[in-house]
Structure 1
Amino acid sequence: MSSFAAYEVDECRGVLRVFSDGSIVRSPNPSFPVPVQDDGSVDWKDAQFDAAHDLHLRLYKPRHRLASDGPKFPVFYYFHGGGFCIGSRTWPNCQNYCLRLASELRAVVVAPDYRLAPEHHLPAAIDDGAAAVEWLRRQAASPDPDPWFAEAVDFGRVFISGDSAGGNIAHHLAVRFGSAAGRAKLEPVRIRGFVQLMPFFGGTRRTKSEAECPKDAFLNLELNDRYWRLSLPRGATADHPLVNPFGPGSPDLEPLEFEPMLVVVGDRDLLRDRAAAYAKRLREWGKPVELAEFQGQQHGFFTIDPWSEPANELMRVIKRFMDEKRSGSN
């Protein structure tokens, strides 16, 4: 009786390997081993938000408020990218960006992990994103919240952001919590806006930016398709509602309520056309959606180099978006 050794069938950025026998090997090392740029102006720590799945998030808070009686810190969620297959709150590229977000936005940044594919197919990541937001509601409603939230946080000014796959999560949370019933579930937490950073959407029909994407791009078409193949529900296509907001089986978004939304795209990003079309259609339906396009930028430019001038400009755009919602009026 002959035996055959398992062979590698899929690989993602050197940290995820899938074999022909179904086994999966994950490296404990990050895909982007860059140094952490921590100048000490932001405190950070980890907390568990889902005991059942042993999921944690990383909290970042500016070390000092501008004045002891000044405005409290808003809360800014950051869901990492990675095609639903890789990435972590602990990776240094994620930590660098969150340190900068906390410092520049003067906000408490919440960076949750979520279950990854192919061990956990979608919608696991979406459900975990919702659980991370509901954890904040428990903090707000608790008579004994985490000390970081007790005196310095404004639970009435919460923003949800996500990068790539995290942007996809942000879309689904905008749908889930946009209605009156959804908002009521989160009281006393109040979401004031969503920031989708190059959101990871897909579809069976290629867009121009997908078809023309160069093979040496940071996110190329082959890797894009691999992420979807590994993360989709079994038997699903790229027109699944979790992937394509306007697919043939997707729910109608026109009658839904949305909080203000900022959609960020780069004109050299494979995902550019889908994100731009998403923002355009929602705007045509009267939704409060703003599109910010960065010329000459490819996928993930703000985490690849968080201190570049385009990343600086993006930080200014996000801060302006948040400041416009300071009064709580939409």
Structure 2
Amino acid sequence: MEVQMSPEILHDFSPRLRVYKDGQIERLLKAHALPPSFDSATLVTSKDVEVSPGVSARIYRPVKFEPQKAKLPILIYIHGGAFCLYSASSSIYHNYLNSLVSLAGCIAVSVDYRLAPEHPMPVCYDDSMSVTQWVLSHSTGSGPEPWLNDRADFDQVFLAGDSAGANIVHDIVIRTDQSKSKRFAGIAMVHPFFGAGEPNGLWDYLYPGTTGVFDSRLNPAANPTKMRKEISACKKILVCVGGRDFLRDRGMTYYQVLREGQENGEWKGELELMESKGRNHVFHLYKPDCDEARDLLIRVADFISNSNSQDFDYQI
């Protein structure tokens, strides 16, 4: 009887990813996929749309606002997962977006970017930028998606993401053409990933062209003046950290760079900070019913729904 040999591991990035010598990729953290649907608990409906070949998004609309004529803020959401895990249809994100959209009273577009390592970085950045451009192409009311044409208020466009998704949000903002000094209404950075100050083997593997710990995408705060200048496309920023998050220090550094910019006049936006005491990285996705997760959900929803909008255009 022939003995079945286990495939030999080439790279072990536990608890996230294993890569085998035969080319097999094993994702160790998983969340089952949910289809778009009407959610009776939150009164939010969703559907999937193809933005371009290989790139899609899931759009959420709060049905409870249907009778009203007023248009709603729009949220472009980027999911986390170390650039190599999860999708817009993953249960933890689908359920979170249903709750957030219901509470904030907004329309959300959850980006389904292609994952590394099958699609090496910076593909995830470019896919997310492509979806952002697609969303903003509806600002004249003549885009291909009626939910955006009919219900979205393009004077109130927000970006939000968690972990790697927050990293991608920062990248989208700094790639926005600021030649006319037009700005996003706000960005919410939830437990952002900006490295941990030491070599990161997973990052290096997923992003073959990276310069490692010196990569500006990994650590934008390493050049504070440059970061504040680039982020000026955004007029309001919420930074959320977990008290026991292993990425807390870099999240706080990001916040401090912006705070110092406010004080010296280099950045003129509004800045908010929320720390969930005693909580770990993206705890709110895995324990959505705990008090701290509810507080975080409310804070992000309030950030979106309570902003004072001004007219602005988009040039990307």
Could you tell me the TM-score, scaled by structure 2's length? 0.83
**Aligned residue number for residue 108 of structure 2:** 109
Kindly state the Cα deviation for residue 7 of structure 1 after the two structures are TM-superposed: 1.1
- 2 CA distance for matches of 1:34 and 1:165? 19
> Which one of 292, 295, 313 corresponds to residue 310 of structure 1?
292
CA contact (8 A) 1:98 1:109 kept: yes
Q: SS of the counterpart of 1:133?
A: helix
Q: Does 1:246 pair with 2:245? A: no
Q: Where do residues 291-330 of structure 1 align in structure 2 (5 Å cutoff)?
A: 291-328=273-310
Deviation track 1:85-111 (CA, whole Å, cap 9, x = no partner) reads: 111111111111111111111111111
Q: SS of the counterpart of 2:186?
A: strand
Q: Where do residues 1-330 of structure 1 align in structure 2 (5 Å cutoff)?
A: 7-11=8-12, 16-21=17-22, 23-25=23-25, 31-33=30-32, 38-39=39-40, 41-51=43-53, 54-65=54-65, 67-69=67-69, 71-141=70-140, 143=142, 145-177=144-176, 179-181=178-180, 183=182, 191-202=184-195, 204-205=197-198, 225-234=200-209, 236-247=211-222, 252-256=226-230, 257-259=232-234, 260-286=236-262, 287=267, 288=269, 289-328=271-310
Paired residues, what number? Answer: 297
Kindly state the Cα deviation for residue 62 of structure 1 after the two structures are TM-superposed: 0.8
Deviation track 1:108-127 (CA, whole Å, cap 9, x = no partner) reads: 11111112212233222111
- 1 CA distance for matches of 2:120 and 2:39? 34
Q: SS of the counterpart of 1:285?
A: helix
Q: SS of the counterpart of 1:292?
A: strand
CA contact (8 A) 1:267 1:298 kept: yes
CA contact (8 A) 1:83 1:165 kept: yes
Q: SS of the counterpart of 2:215?
A: coil
CA contact (8 A) 1:197 1:265 kept: yes
- 1 CA distance for matches of 2:14 and 2:112? 18
- 1 CA distance for matches of 2:60 and 2:44? 6
Structure 1 segments unaligned to the other structure (5+ residues): 184-189, 207-224
Residues 109, 254 of structure 1: alpha-carbon distance in 2 compared, 3 angstrom cutoff? closer
- 2 CA distance for matches of 1:267 and 1:14? 21
CA contact (8 A) 1:49 1:56 kept: yes
Kindly state the Cα deviation for residue 63 of structure 1 after the two structures are TM-superposed: 1.4
CA contact (8 A) 1:202 1:239 kept: no
Kindly state the Cα deviation for residue 232 of structure 1 after the two structures are TM-superposed: 2.6
Kindly state the Cα deviation for residue 77 of structure 1 after the two structures are TM-superposed: 1.6
Q: SS of the counterpart of 1:126?
A: helix
Q: SS of the counterpart of 2:139?
A: helix
CA contact (8 A) 2:240 2:273 kept: yes
- Root-mean-square deviation (CA, aligned residues, Å) is 3.0
Could you tell me the TM-score, scaled by structure 1's length? 0.80
- More deviation, 280-289/11-20: 11-20
- More deviation, 268-277/236-245: 236-245
Percent sequence identity over aligned pairs: 30
